Amino acid sequence: MTVFYILISVLFVSLLSLLGVFWLSFKKETLEKTIFFLVSFSAGALLGDAFFHLIPQVAKNDGFSVKTGAFILGGVFIFLLLEKIVCWRHCHVPTSGAHIHPVGINNLIGDSLHNAIDGMIIAASFLVSVPLGITTFLAVVLHEIPQEIGNFGILVHAGFSRKRALFLNFVTALFALLGALIVIIFGFGSGLFITFILALTIGGFFYVACAALIPEIHKECRPKHSLAQLVAFLGGIAIMAILLLFE
């Protein structure tokens, strides 16, 4: 049953790559407002999941040792390394004509690797417990929505047709299934493996929230919109706190 939960969750995350089709129906102003709101909400959800669910679970499994701290820092480094190697970063707003074709290729490579890690994160969390898997799944979903819209925009501006961009974005999303299968095949019965993956997840969530999402939040300086973003950020944290009641 756990494997079923993992596969359904990862498949749902993969299908989010098709959200790009709705990008075509939004006006630019509406899209920007929606994405900035989602970015704020997802930043709070990622940090809330890390602090309320993942860190307590890692401490429960293996204590919070120097080794655990090293694994968490390893997660931060892995996401930094991905950005440096493929010259790619989370892009949460539609891009301009300055994006050329090679940037689209780099985006596809980076997104494939990132989605594989997301699949591993979700699978490892479900192997610990279903409630932890659900909270991590929700955190991943909330940050994937603005990311997938941004990815579609990058591919279109890089020179791909809209249909081709949607198809390629979906192909990269399927790497999440590959990541989940790796954990399912090699992760059962290995407490150290699960602790390692969860710690990397914490580091990854810290990095995505603090290095990729929060800087996007700072780009909005208008008081009314900034207040809405802060409320959305706290809303993401609150959702993760409320989910503690169901564990």
33 lies in some domain: no
pTM recorded for the entire structure:
0.72
pLDDT tens track for 174-211? 999 999 998 888 765 566 777 888 888 888 889 888 88
Structural domain containing residue 114 = 2-19+90-246
On the question of pLDDT at 171 being above 60, the answer is: yes
182 lies in some domain: yes
217 lies in some domain: yes
77 lies in some domain: no
pLDDT tens track for 39-68? 888 888 889 988 998 888 888 877 777 888
- Average predicted confidence (pLDDT) for the chain: 79
36 lies in some domain: no
The confidence score (pLDDT) of residue 98 equals: 45
94 lies in some domain: yes
55 lies in some domain: no
**Look-up: residue for tokens 């040792």?**
65
Pair of tokens at residue 227: 């207040």
**Look-up: residue for tokens 């309320």?**
52
Buried-state track 177-193, b at ≥16 Cβ within 10 A, e below 16: bebbbebbeebeeeeee
67 lies in some domain: no
H or E stretch including 145? Answer: helix 130-157
Domain tally, the chain: 1
**Look-up: residue for tokens 């609150």?**
238
Reported confidence tier of residue 94, pLDDT bands at 50, 70, 90: very low
Pair of tokens at residue 56: 């307590």
